[in-house]
Amino acid sequence: MAFYCNQRARRGDVFFGPGVPIDDVRSVLTKDSRFLGSSAGAPALTARLPEQTLAPLFQASPLDSSAASRGATAAALAYLLWGTLPLYWKLLDGIPVQELMAHRIVWTLAVVVVLQLLRGRMGVLRETWAVPANRRAHFRGGVFVTLNWGIFVWALLHDQVIEASLGYFLVPLVSAGLGRVLFQERLERLQKIALALAGAGVAVLFFQIENPPWVALGIAATWCSYGVGRKRSDAGPISGLALELAFVLPLAIVYLAVMAWEGAGSFGTIDRVTDATIIGTGVISMVPLVLFAYAARRLTYTTLGLLQYLAPTCQFLVGWLVFGEPFAGIRVVGFIFIWAGIACYSVGTLRRHQAGRR
């Protein structure tokens, strides 16, 4: 899952969604431009080179408002689905996280392969695999996405949904920090303020001696590391995910085979509803990504980046209002600092967007 937007004013690199770097968005707009067909009346979209400034790929005009509206609806649905995933995973409470992750890898890859077959895009997978740099990038990506999924689901099943949401709130800010450290990218004033506020919020949360924010930091770190690795591949989000899961598939199959041999597996031993829910983990992993790919062809980077906060906001509300997780005292103070940082970051994003349109 993904929900981050690392705006880089000089390089034009932006990260969106569940490990969906801007390079993936470019792929949706170019190599995968036939993804779901073109919308009526929508002009052809072209990718901008990394060295170009952050100008929107698609300037909606009155004639294009219908396409932009459909894109916004698709993006909102994608982020809302990502944000309400805790409700789905709670249905599988009681099954070991390792087993759930193994099943998620198997069934998600199965759904991806079926989707690519239906689209006639299996050749894209072979082309991506043929490039050694892509294989190296997606091997690392497979490791990081599996770790991220595992931490996230562990948090959900151990009543730490609010903490998991914090991790995804932090992702854009951590991405900006990594951009400065790893790529020597210039940070603007509001970005520096945003990072300082987020750092203060995390420091405040460490005063929760019984529950420091290790889960949130783990989610943010693994997802941002995943995004950095994906910058080294030209694969689209769906094809890239297929290759990443292919690398970790053998481990998942061996684990499930051992569990079945020992009679300790959950699949096929509880009831059909549980079996269907386990299989459905592949569907819930893919549907938001399909919606996101559709939206990426119809919206500007800025719009996608701002909509991303729907996901952790929904997760936060589910944890607090639905599952009744505690949200008081020092935890509130820490979150306020981080939300203030996000507000600064978003204002900076909008200012750059407006400057790019002049």
- With respect to residue 171, please indicate whether it lies within any of the assigned structural domains: yes
Measured CA distances, 140 to 21, 151, 240, 274 (Å):
15, 17, 12, 31
- With respect to residue 10, please indicate whether it lies within any of the assigned structural domains: no
Measured CA distances, 148 to 68, 120, 187, 194, 205 (Å):
31, 30, 27, 24, 21
Distance CA 184, CA 13 (A): 13
Query: Is pLDDT larger for residue 257 or for residue 68?
Result: 257
- With respect to residue 8, please indicate whether it lies within any of the assigned structural domains: no
Residues 297 and 45: beta-carbon distance below 8 Å: yes
Residues 216 and 319: beta-carbon distance below 8 Å: no
- With respect to residue 282, please indicate whether it lies within any of the assigned structural domains: yes
- With respect to residue 182, please indicate whether it lies within any of the assigned structural domains: yes
Distance CA 121, CA 114 (A): 10
Query: Which tokens go with 111?
Result: 């759904």
Residues 41 and 311: beta-carbon distance below 8 Å: no
* Count of domains observed in the chain: 1
| Stretch among 122-126, 151-155, 166-170, 226-230 having the lowest mean pLDDT | 226-230
Q: How many CB atoms lie within 10 A of CB 32?
A: 23
- With respect to residue 53, please indicate whether it lies within any of the assigned structural domains: no
pLDDT for the residue 98: 94
- Note the residue count of the chain: 358
Residues 71 and 26: beta-carbon distance below 8 Å: no
Burial 140-179 (b: 16+ CB within 10 A, else e): bbbbbbbbbbbbbbbbbbeebbbbbbbbbbbbbbbbbbbb
**DSSP annotation of 57:** S
Query: Is pLDDT larger for residue 305 or for residue 348?
Result: 348
* Structure confidence by residue, pLDDT tens digits, 130-150: 888 888 888 998 999 999 999
* Structure confidence by residue, pLDDT tens digits, 298-320: 777 667 777 888 899 999 999 99
* Structure confidence by residue, pLDDT tens digits, 77-93: 999 999 999 999 999 99
Instruction: Read off the pLDDT of each residue in 5-9 and give the average, rounded to a whole number.
Output: 39
Q: Is the pLDDT of residue 192 over 70?
A: yes
| Strand intervals (E) in 235-347 | none
* Structure confidence by residue, pLDDT tens digits, 147-164: 999 999 999 999 999 999
Prediction pTM value: 0.76
Domain assignment of residue 332, given as a range = 15-34+63-357
pLDDT for the residue 238: 83
Select, from the ranges 49-58, 114-123, 179-188, the one with the highest average predicted confidence (pLDDT). 114-123
pLDDT for the residue 153: 94
- With respect to residue 273, please indicate whether it lies within any of the assigned structural domains: yes
Measured CA distances, 313 to 83, 197, 205, 290, 307 (Å):
7, 18, 18, 21, 10
pLDDT for the residue 270: 84
Q: Is the pLDDT of residue 47 over 80?
A: no
Largest Cα–Cα separation, the chain = 66
What percent of the chain clears pLDDT 70, i.e. is strictly above it?
80
Q: Is the pLDDT of residue 20 over 60?
A: no
Distance CA 28, CA 283 (A): 20
- With respect to residue 203, please indicate whether it lies within any of the assigned structural domains: yes
Q: Is the pLDDT of residue 32 over 80?
A: no
